[in-house]
């Protein structure tokens, strides 16, 4: 600090030499800053930028039945963007995404609301919250497969319905159907909505609820005028999780639809299985851009920065 002062006051007397000193000091400080950010830059560069760059490069390569090789062709994109299959799979994926989002938001919000506002003691809140996470102690695949004996033609659901006389014939659409896909998605990803929404709700000052009640708001008015507006950032973070997870998924759709439903992720996975890496890369790039646009739109509605 004193050094700085002397060099600044000295600058008036001998501008040339002291200015040099000053700029040397500034550049030294700048170098320190660079050193400090370098680990993060390297990690992000190596694990994020580099892979994406590779995918983008490969997406312009060419391929034949058994090999792919460096080139600069737009064929992958041209085929992808003109094929009616692409549109159909995207529509199908959007349909899953929207349905899953609706159910996850409704169920997730309800659970979080119950935990945050109806459970009164903190230990109980934490206990119930941990119970919500119990299914997540097993792998995705196991949780998905466990639906099969439940939803199958002779599964628990159908037997129970037949035994109680609700239906005569087993329901076919319970398993290996879009219903099953959405059900599994909601089961898998609901917690990703519960956690951020619960987190935001816990930060709502309880005196705001009292202030609303003091102003004559009914419970429903408190929900719509106070809780929902204040929970928006949490809902948005949960939505980003759910949307990106569903958009990129391929295994749930394959398992739960019995291979009958398509999704963007499945298209990419199939292309990889057929060693059509450039085509898969192009699909991945288009998917990435789509998801980024969707997140961009969502961020326009709600400022989530204050949550982070």
Partner 1 sequence: MSALELIATTKTYGEIVAVDAIDYKFASGTYSCLLGPSGCGKSSTLRMIAGHETVSGGDIILGGINITDLPPAARGTAMMFQDYALFPHLSVIDNVAFSQKMQGIQKATRRARAMELLELVDMQEYAERIPDQLSGGQQQRVALARALITEPSILLLDEPLSALDPFLRIKMRAELKKLQRSLGISFIHVTHSQDEALALADQIIVMNNAVIEQSGSPMEVFNKPNSEFVAKFIGGHNVLPTDAGKIAIRTDRIKIQKDKAKGSMSAIIRDVEFLGSTVNVAMDAGSRGEVVASVTDSIFYNQPMEIGETVFLKWNKKDAHRLAE
Residues that bind partner 1 (CB under 8 A): 205, 207-208, 210-218, 221, 225-226, 229-230
Q: How far is the CB of 200 from partner 1 (least distance, A)?
A: 12
Contacts of 59 (CB under 8 A, 6+ apart): 76, 77, 278, 281, 282, 284, 285
In the complex with partner 1, the residue whose CB is nearer, 45 or 229, is 229
In the complex with partner 1, the residue whose CB is nearer, 7 or 225, is 225
User: Do residues 258 and 174 touch, judged by C-beta distance below 8 A?
Assistant: no
Q: How far is the CB of 230 from partner 1 (least distance, A)?
A: 6
Nearest to 277 by CA among 24, 20, 45, 54: 54
Q: How far is the CB of 219 from partner 1 (least distance, A)?
A: 11
Distance CA 275, CA 270 (A): 9
Distance CA 250, CA 98 (A): 16
Distance CA 180, CA 195 (A): 24
The 10 Å Cβ neighbour count of residue 97 is: 23
Q: How far is the CB of 234 from partner 1 (least distance, A)?
A: 13
User: CA 88 → CA 80, 114, 213, 261, 279, distances in Å?
Assistant: 12, 39, 49, 11, 17
In the complex with partner 1, the residue whose CB is nearer, 58 or 222, is 222
Distance CA 176, CA 16 (A): 79
In the complex with partner 1, the residue whose CB is nearer, 115 or 226, is 226
Q: How far is the CB of 131 from partner 1 (least distance, A)?
A: 26
In the complex with partner 1, the residue whose CB is nearer, 172 or 303, is 303
């Amino acid at each position: 600090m004193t050094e700085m002062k002397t060099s600044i006051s000295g600058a008036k007397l001998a501008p040339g030499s002291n200015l040099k000193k000053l700029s040397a000091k500034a550049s030294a400080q700048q170098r320190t800053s660079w050193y400090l950010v370098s680990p993060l830059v390297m990690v992000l560069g190596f694990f994020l930028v580099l892979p994406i760059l590779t995918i983008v490069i490969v997406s312009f390569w060419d391929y034949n039945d058994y090999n792919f090789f460096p080139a600069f062709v737009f064929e992958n994109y041209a085929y992808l963007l003109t094929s009616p299959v692409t549109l159909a799979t995207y529509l199908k994926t959007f349909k899953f995404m929207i349905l899953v989002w609706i159910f996850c938001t409704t169920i997730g919000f309800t659970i979080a609301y119950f935990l945050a506002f109806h459970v009164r003691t903190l230990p109980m809140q934490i206990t119930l919250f941990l119970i919500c996470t119990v299914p997540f102690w097993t792998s995705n695949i196991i949780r998905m497969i466990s639906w099969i004996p439940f939803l199958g033609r002779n599964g628990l659901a159908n037997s129970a319905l037949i035994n109680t006389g609700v239906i005569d014939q087993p329901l076919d659409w319970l398993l290996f159907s879009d219903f099953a896909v959405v059900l599994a998605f909601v089961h898998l990803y609901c917690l990703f909505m519960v956690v951020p929404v619960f987190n935001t709700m816990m930060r709502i000052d309880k005196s705001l609820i009292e202030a609303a009640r003091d102003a004559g708001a009914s419970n429903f008015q408190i929900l719509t005028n106070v809780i929902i507006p204040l929970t928006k950032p949490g809902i948005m973070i949960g939505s980003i999780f759910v949307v990106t997870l569903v958009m990129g998924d391929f295994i749930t759709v394959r398992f739960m639809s019995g291979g009958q439903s398509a999704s963007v992720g499945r298209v990419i996975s199939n292309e990889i299985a057929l060693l059509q890496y450039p085509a898969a890369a192009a699909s991945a790039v288009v998917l990435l851009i789509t998801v980024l646009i969707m997140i961009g739109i969502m961020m326009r509605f709600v400022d989530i920065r204050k949550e982070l």
